[in-house]
Chain A
Amino acid sequence: MSNAAAMRPGRSALPEWVRRLPEYLMIWVPLLLSAAHLISFSLWTIWISFTPSTLVPVTGWVGLRNYSAVAASRNWQIAFDNLLLFGISFVVLSAATGLVLAILLDQRIRGENVLRSIFLYPLAVSFVVTGTVWSWLLNPGLGIQKLVHDLGWSSFRFDWLIDRDMAIWTIVIAAIWQSSGFAMALFLAGLRSVDGDIVKAAQIDGAGPVRMYRRIILPSLWPITITVIVIQLQFAISTFDLVRALTNGGPGIATQLPALVVYDLMFQRSLLGRGAAAAVLMLLILLAVLLPYAAWRYHQRRRATHA
């Protein structure tokens, strides 16, 4: 630092803030613009959710009527239950799948690059494509069940797509296929950053591979695990295109999710007020995930600086 300053004496005459102006402009202008965008539309939606708007936004005040109507509707109740089931199982299973894949890939195997690309590839496919492809694979009359029947095992049943109680699991399957590669990439980066010296020390102390993973490597991965969980959770909460292509909320209304309900209310039923109320409820669910995460991050940072 002092060397560089000595080499460019003319520069150091400028005040600090002037020298850093380009950096501030680069960061703050886009940040402020997108924040203003985000906040103004969120506030607008919150306002609409308290108005009697239907086809177009109108002024007026109906208090919490839109909220109570949404909360009382069967569609929303089903969507909320599905979100809990889908959110938890998807996050846990995709993180677990990603972790297993990462550990297997981390064994210094041949063709790692090829395998890694294959596992990451689904992420490059849009959710609509994933949904459509899986809707064919899982369709009992066209896909896996038919294949097995044609092979001769005619009592085989795999008809979750058309089973009201199991249909939500088809979305879990497709979502895991799509995004466990992402979890794998993060975990793999984490595995690679484990301190080699500690591993060597453990080896010298005679720790076997299972013990090494359980006691040393996995515990050091947990900040990454939290990140994976939070990213996947906010994806789960806002899932829309995948379900729309895979089941479109069906059979019947068995696989409704909050984002589908919002779209349905706003654009298919032309009930802007209720749709906005549902959207605000979704935002609250998101905050319920993100605020504890932010608090945890803050806590971590404080602990790090104090240590």
Chain B
Amino acid sequence: MPITTTRRRLLAGSVATLALPAFARAQGAAKPRLTVISQWSAGSDGAAITALGKKFEEKGGVWQHSPVPGFTTEMMNKLRAQIMAGDPPACSQLKGPEIAAWSKIAPTVDLDAVVAAAGYEKVVAPDLAKLHKPGGKWIALPLQIYSTNMLFLSKRAMDKAKADKIPVTWAEFNDLAEKMKAGGVAYPVANGGTRPDDGQKFEAALAGISPLAYRAAIMNLEKKALEGPEIKAAFAQVRKIADWMDPNVGAQHFSTNLKRFIDGDMGMMIMGGWAQGVLRNAGFKLEDFTIAPGPSDNGKPVFLLNADAFIFWQRKDADLQAGQTLMAQLVMDPAIQTMYSQITGSIPVRTDVDLSGEGWSEGQRTTAKALKDAIASNQAVLSMAHNMAQENGMTAAMIDVITEYVKNKTIKPEQAATRLAEAVEGSR
């Protein structure tokens, strides 16, 4: 049967030809390749991840980033679809307790060896480290840190209030707000009207009143703490803040009011460190505002952590695996973290990066110092409003109560505290 032989040979030949490149790739040191999904497509976020990609390519890798612009949830939908199709990206953006939740639906990469080789664990805040090793093994790596409770002070509003002392405790904050009001500042507290905005006011209040109560009630969901006096005190403080805010903001983004803040029409802003980048991009001068750690009644800085991270999904392809190792090394590298944070306005995850040099702003230095001090006094806690303390479902249930309380002044602090405890029970 000569024909059959030929056919068979032909078939074998073509299979070999097809398989050869793959074989060669697997045999030689695979050229690192990385498929990445994130929501960072534009602005400083887009610029930062593009710069990271350049570094990846400089090290000989192939960078395949698919940004999903819009809300984080959109990025998650894409990730969910790819995981369900059995084709997860080698690496994707994900943060907080969602890392643990998502790691249950698809296998992740064990990064322990790479992390140990870089000696990374020593230089990461303990609570943050825990989030990235849900089963005791590192499966994700934090990339950059923001604090959600930085206090921004408008220079012009301070002049109107004839004040120059930065408030440290909530009592001092309240005094300053009164002075600003008396001095002609229309709204002593600048704000937006979005859900995370309202959540941030509450978490800043509670963590500032008692970081211990915050840890017990919000991070550990202890029933006793949720019914404790600190929660009521925090809601009472939030009511004061709400009374100083401009009620007209509707559902606007906080950045809408930045000009009024700089002009001294609004006085203080409790916002994440990212506001600094927004202010700078909007063309405002750094000397028009001051950044300080958010109010803390025991005088030591409280740091509400928000950290972006990458999670690594298990892939069989040798080139993707090599890419994952390279990416992990890059993300932990102090030089890369410096580059990244200098673009976005965050601070590095590593607590051993020196921020005294050029390229860092005073606000970033203040934030980094606050983090160091907060870790030393065990007052670095995880942000609820930005989905670091609880999974999304629990966070949303809590923010429902908070946002309704901020907007409805007939709800009493005691009622709000009861509702918060009930909402937590209902979503367990």
Binding site for B on A (CB under 8 A): 54-57, 69, 72-75, 135, 139-142, 159, 161-162, 164, 247-248, 250-254, 264, 267-271
* A57: B residues at CB distance < 8 A: 84
Fill in one digit per residue for B175-198: 1 if any A CB lies within 8 Å of its CB, else 0.
000000000000000000110000
Whether B76 is near chain A, meaning CB under 8 Å from some CB there, is: yes
Q: Provided the pairs A55-B101, A73-B426, A74-B400 are in contact, do residues A252 and B407 lie with their beta carbons within 8 angstroms? A: yes
Q: How far is the CA of A55 from the CA of B404 in the complex (A)?
A: 27
- A-B pairs with lowest CB-CB distance, top 8: A141-B248, A252-B404, A251-B407, A252-B407, A269-B393, A248-B251, A267-B73, A140-B248
Chain B nearest CB from A52 CB (Å) reads: 13
| Interface size in chain B (residues, C-beta < 8 A) | 32
Asked if A164 and B408 make an inter-chain contact with CB atoms under 8 angstroms apart, the answer reads: yes
A65 to chain B, nearest CB (A): 13
| Chain A residues in 8 Å Cβ range of B84 | 56-57
Contact, CB under 8 Å: A269 / B105: no
Which residue of A has the minimal Cβ distance to B248?
A141
Q: For B396, list chain A residues within 8 Å (CB).
A: 264, 268-269
Q: Which residues of A contact B247 (CB under 8 A)?
A: 159, 162
Task: Bits for B239-253, please: 1 = Cβ < 8 Å to A, else 0.
Answer: 000000011111110
Given A56-B80, A253-B404, check contact A268 B101 (CB 8 Å): no
Assembled-state Cα–Cα distance A56/B252 (Å): 32
- How far apart are the CA atoms of A74 and B252 in the complex, in Å? 24
Given contacts A247-B250, A247-B251, contact A252 B403 (CB under 8 A): yes
Q: List 6 additional A-B contacts (Cβ < 8 Å) besides A55-B101, A268-B396.
A: A142-B248, A162-B407, A247-B251, A251-B250, A252-B408, A253-B400
Nearest-CB residue, chain A, relative to B403: A252
The residue from B250, B392, B403, B407 contacting A270, defined by CB atoms under 8 A apart: B392
Asked if B406 lies at the interface with its beta carbon under 8 angstroms from chain A, I say yes
10 pairs, CB–CB < 8 Å, chain A vs chain B: A56-B80, A73-B426, A162-B407, A248-B251, A250-B193, A250-B250, A250-B251, A252-B403, A268-B396, A269-B392
Q: Please, how many angstroms separate the alpha-carbon atoms of A271 and B400 in the complex?
A: 16
Give min CB distance, B48 to chain A, whole Å: 25
When C-beta atoms are compared, the residue in chain B nearest to A267 turns out to be B73
> Among the interface residues A251, A253, A254, which one has the most CB atoms of the partner chain B within 10 A?
A251
Query: B102 at the A/B interface (Cβ < 8 Å)?
Result: yes
- Given A55-B102, A56-B83, the answer on whether A159 and B248 have CB atoms closer than 8 Å is yes
B391 at the interface (CB under 8 A from A): yes
When distances are taken between beta carbons in the complex, the residues of chain B under 8 Å from A248 are 194, 251
CB distance from A166 to the nearest CB of B (A): 13
Nearest-Cβ distance from residue B187 to partner chain A, whole angstroms: 10
Q: Tell me the B402-428 residues at the A interface (CB within 8 Å).
A: 403-408, 426
Interface pair B83/A270, CB less than 8 Å apart: no
Would you give the shortest CB distance from A262 to chain B, in whole angstroms?
13
> Of all chain B residues, which has the CB nearest A55?
B105
